[in-house]
Amino acid sequence: MTRKLSRRPPELLLSLVSEEFQHLCQQNLSAKTCRSYAGPLRLFQTYLRETLGREPLLSDFTLDAARRWADSLQERPKWLRGGLSVGDQPVSVETRRSYLRQLRVFANWLADPPHHYCRESPLRHLRLPKASDTYQMPLVHDH
């Protein structure tokens, strides 16, 4: 009796795939741009780790997970760098939109050649939260 071998690829840790993405970013983009991608991706992976109770897999990077994370950001206070809470105000709509846009860049990369981790972006149907109508005054630095 012969046993049929599975043609399914092995599950990949999301952290390893995101490290590859970040490494390629460092080779091709500015340090500031790389940091802007790394922060939200790290926060999302922390959220997945906490909700799943294990290291997240690439298959855990889904539209539903991204939506749940975006919703959870409304319930948490703002963070300082390093993940420290600041006050009791939730993360702003603009920040949530930015985080989700940056996650979408990673999701689109997953489907791009040459690696093709996914057939199509897992976040292709992700809608960003509606932008705030409140005008934000830019910070002005006096010298």
Round to whole Å and give the CA distance between 92 and 24: 29
Percentage of residues in the chain having pLDDT higher than 70: 75
| pLDDT, tens only, 100-114 | 999 999 999 999 988
Query: Of residues 53 and 75, which shows the higher confidence score?
Result: 53
Query: Is the bond preceding 77 in cis, omega lying within 30 degrees of 0?
Result: no
Q: Note the pTM of the prediction, 2 decimals.
A: 0.76
| 70-97 per-position pLDDT tens digit | 988 887 655 544 454 455 677 788 888 9
| Cα–Cα–Cα angle for 103, 35, 104, rounded to 5 degrees | 10
The C-alpha atoms of residue 71 and residue 94 are separated, in whole angstroms, by 14
- The amino acid present at 53, given as its one-letter code, is G
Q: What is the pLDDT of residue 80?
A: 46
How is residue 95 written in tokens? 């920040």
Q: What is the mean pLDDT of residues 55-76?
A: 91
CB 85 within 8 A of CB 77: yes
Domain boundaries of the chain, sorted by first residue: 14-111
Better-predicted residue by pLDDT, 31 or 48: 48
Mean pLDDT of the chain: 82
pLDDT at 142 over 90: no
DSSP state of 13: B
